[in-house]
Amino acid sequence: MIEILEGFDLVDSLKFVSKKFPGKVVFSTSFGQEDQVITDAIFKNNINIKVFTLDTGRLFPETYELMDKTKARYKKSFETYFPENEKVETLVKEKGFNSFYESVENRKECCNIRKIIGLKRALKGNEVWITGLRAEQSENRSSMAIWEFDEGNNIHKFNPLVHWSASKMEEYLEENNVPQNVLHKKGFVSIGCQPCTRAIEVGEHPRAGRWWWEESQKECGLHAVK
């Protein structure tokens, strides 16, 4: 499967997977630059892949604006998964709104409630999960393959941009006039929840703006670190 997919360009690889697993392929987007590349390819070519996003309730206003711009641009819809009310209410009642600043464990608890549980709902019943991961994003992702099996979620994971460089991604976005988050022009590279994301300085690692107060692997748990 890996050799086959690496022989295709982005659009053809997406078409191939969608036909091999009809009606069972989903793409998760957080509306970052990588995800907008894949969204553009799926929507413009009417590929049979379901698109969904996770709304944690703590996103930037600019991210919501981009969601609406994307929907208007392509005249396509996507599913939005929200956290379970009771779990969020219990977390806030017991630990407050910003407990994630206090420890890595607390931060992962928040990510689990606001993201991971919703992800499992979105993936349920499907066979392939498409992501916008790129190998050069972080050391944790450097050994990823274009096609993997996610044991934790019991699903095949397809990473079509795994070998793409940042420059190739930016060229695609520019050439295809793809809508982007305005925060990218303000130093935000990897954009997550508003309280957990900051702009990065020149020379800093692209993931430095995520959970900047931590010395961790800079992952939320959506993608298992081997």
- To which H or E segment does residue 38 belong? helix 33-44
CA distance linking residue 224 with residue 82, whole number of Å: 21
Tell me the C-alpha to C-alpha distance, in Å, between residue 145 and each of 53, 77, 90, 142, 160: 23, 29, 38, 9, 9
| Multiple choice CATH, 2-182, 3.10.450.50, 3.40.50.620, 3.40.718.10, 3.40.1050.10 | 3.40.50.620
Residue 175: exposed, middle, or buried by beta-carbon count in 10 A (0-12, 13-18, 19+)?
Answer: exposed
CA distance linking residue 39 with residue 41, whole number of Å: 5
Residue 203 pLDDT: 85
Residue 225 pLDDT: 44
Residue 217 pLDDT: 59
Residue 219 pLDDT: 61
Would you say 167 and 174 are in contact if contact means Cβ atoms under 8 Å apart?
Answer: no
pLDDT averaged over consecutive 10-residue blocks of the chain (226 residues)? 94 98 98 98 98 98 98 97 98 97 95 96 98 81 86 96 95 98 94 95 86 74 54
Going through the chain in order, the beta strands assigned E by DSSP cover: 25-28, 50-54, 79-81, 128-130, 147-150, 155-158
Task: Tell me which residues are annotated as active site.
Answer: 220
